[in-house]
Structure 1
Amino acid sequence: MQIKHNVNNKLHENSHFSEAEKTLLTVRDCLRFAVSRFYQAKLFFGHGSDDAYDEAVYLILHTLHLPIDTLAPFLDAQLTPGELGEVLNVIRQRVEQRIPAAYLTHEAFLGGYNFYVDERVIVPRSFIAELLREQLSPWIADPDAISSVLDLCTGSGC
């Protein structure tokens, strides 16, 4: 019974993407589509984004080679067929293969820096950077007294 359910879900997703190729025109359209698909797929967000909306904005703007902090001026921009195909491909990979956004874009942000990442590394998480900014206070009384640190399983060695 589970196999039939999975096949039906896959067919349903394929119909969503086939329809999207024919009907989506703007960045706004793609954003709404991505957010809907991400929530429907019950994706995990925690590799740089907190929710489906933020992750969709990031993936769409990154894919279109636009500044990732500037959405508003581009919302109603019409996409070329090639751009739409690229955006839908990224959304499809995120939904169907559940690939984290950092692996799709090959970048992760940590402590104000941008790092290259791929499937060979664990995606660095920003809460570690917050601890480092505070010099691991209150756990370390005198950070200047530390002469060496072991960086173990922290992703790309950021």
Structure 2
Amino acid sequence: MERAPLAFGHGTDNARDEAVWLVLAALDRSPVEARVDPAEPLDSDAIASIDALLARRIAERRPLAYLTGKAWFAGLAFRCDERALVPRSPLAEPILERFEPWIGARPAARILDLGTGNGCIALACAHAFPEAAVDATDVDGAALALARENIADHGMGDRLALYQGDLFAPLPSGRRYDLIVSNPPYVDAEAMAALPAEYAR
């Protein structure tokens, strides 16, 4: 992978970590829970799966999460495809720490995620704050369709509501939030054109 003209940054930031994730994905194992044992024998089917996924990663220059249809964020699995960006937010750690020390002992009864994409940040917040109702907005209907699939996978349909529109615009009038989070796309079209192929999807 180091010799191939690949760019990293969609869940991993170097060839070694990407190779580990690729092997685990090919073996249908969680990168959060599993460990790779270099001495573990692999049968011919497993080797063929790894080789095929590696060949696609190099030939197509698509992020591994798009090839496997799965991404990991804050220790949770999410469906992932070209309808939304691959989760890679620095918010995972603060979410897992329930935004300590900023929130403290105050309850977060209502949380808002602006620009939710595939819904990973909103869902991670719903897991971290089981007492909270979570709203999430996005302008892109296709991204929201993917977010709905993830909400169903996580069984959060009763606690997480999606709204299509720009930022606060589609939200019910007068609604207030204890916590607002956002990790919106921040690269303009000119900068995007100069990025490696993996980022153009």
The answer to whether the superposition gives a TM-score over 0.5 is: yes
Instruction: State the AA in 2 paired with 1:71.
Output: V
- Residue number in structure 1 paired with 2:36: 71
Matched residue SS, 1:127: coil
Aligned pairs (5 A) from 1:85-124: 85-124=48-87
- Residue number in structure 2 paired with 1:45: 8
* Alpha-carbon separation, structure 2, partners of 1:93 and 1:150: 33
- Residue number in structure 2 paired with 1:155: 117
TM-score by length of 1: 0.59
* Alpha-carbon separation, structure 2, partners of 1:48 and 1:95: 16
- Measured after TM superposition, the shift of residue 156 of structure 1 is 0.7
RMSD of aligned residue pairs (Cα, Å): 2.9
More helix by share: 1
- Measured after TM superposition, the shift of residue 58 of structure 1 is 1.5
- Measured after TM superposition, the shift of residue 146 of structure 1 is 8.9
Deviations 1:29-74 (A, max 9, x none): xxxxxxxxx11123222211121111111111221234542211x5
- Asked if the contact 1:108/1:116 (under 8 Å) is kept, the reply is yes
Query: What is the percent sequence identity of the aligned residues?
Result: 34
Matched residue SS, 2:112: coil
More strand by share: 2
* Alpha-carbon separation, structure 2, partners of 1:94 and 1:129: 25
Q: Is 2:47 aligned against 1:84? A: yes
Structure 1 residues without counterparts, runs of 5 or longer: 1-37
Instruction: State the AA in 1 paired with 2:118.
Output: S
In our comparison, the structure showing a higher alpha carbon Rg is 1
* Alpha-carbon separation, structure 1, partners of 2:99 and 2:43: 46
TM-score by length of 2: 0.48
Deviations 1:121-150 (A, max 9, x none): 111114122244463976x89x86895634
* Alpha-carbon separation, structure 2, partners of 1:113 and 1:94: 23
Aligned equivalent of 1:135, options 99, 110, 113: 99
- Asked if the contact 1:107/1:114 (under 8 Å) is kept, the reply is yes
* Alpha-carbon separation, structure 2, partners of 1:66 and 1:150: 29
* Alpha-carbon separation, structure 1, partners of 2:100 and 2:82: 28
Change (3 A) 1:136 1:76: closer
